[in-house]
A = this chain, B = another copy of it.
Amino acid sequence: MTTGYPSKLLEDAVSEFSKLPGIGRKTALRLVLHLLRLDSGETESFGNAILRLRREIKHCRICHNLSDSDVCYICSDPKRKKELLCVVENIRDVLSIENTNQFNGFYHVLGGIISPMEGTGPADLTIQSLEQKVIDPSSPITEVILALPTTLEGDTTNFYLFRKLKDSGVRITTLARGLSIGDDLEYADEITLGRSIVNRLEFESTMKNPS
């Protein structure tokens, strides 16, 4: 470990950076020295962006995504399909799905998945708000897409949500599992390959854009 920093201010900044995931003290020092080489205005804008973010950011009260206002720009978009609701673990997943340009409905951000190992139970997530939204008789939702990770925790959460929502009468779907684009069969794991045989598609359907 590098010790003996010539300055407490420097040491503090390095310590703060090295608390971030994947950043050790050597990288932290390099980043901090980079910030010192910048114009002081640029470093100010870095520090202020962090402080403003933490002080001012909100959660959308409808989908629980991060937002600058009470209702996020997705939930306030009148052109989206009110019938479709996509349930995701976190905001990164919203961004990933948005980047595919293949989904034009709304989102519901759970804020995590059920994980007994990490002590996350249903009450820690926005499941109650999801239920109310789907079960509400005036709700326009006809399909809930469960877009959770294909892990044990993801499957557990899928199953829990399915049980909660199945009586509402809406269609409940999940993301297709199969080979990734570019995958070699010999490197695909057995479960994925097995599912991709069981859930095989009409070849013709793969030739058109799936939007």
Contact = CB atoms under 8 A, between A and B. Distances in A.
B6 A73 contact: yes
A99 interface: yes
Interface in A1-32: 2-10, 12-13, 15-17, 19-23, 27, 29-32
Interface residues of A, number: 61
18 contacts: A2-B95, A5-B95, A6-B65, A6-B66, A6-B72, A7-B66, A9-B56, A9-B57, A9-B68, A16-B49, A16-B50, A22-B27, A23-B31, A33-B92, A36-B53, A36-B54, A44-B51, A47-B48
B57 A12 contact: no
Nearest to A63: B6
Stoichiometry (number of copies) = 2
A3 to B, nearest CB: 7
Contacts of A163: none
A135 interface: no
Contacts of A65: 6
A34 interface: yes
Given A16-B46, A20-B34, A53 B4 contact: no
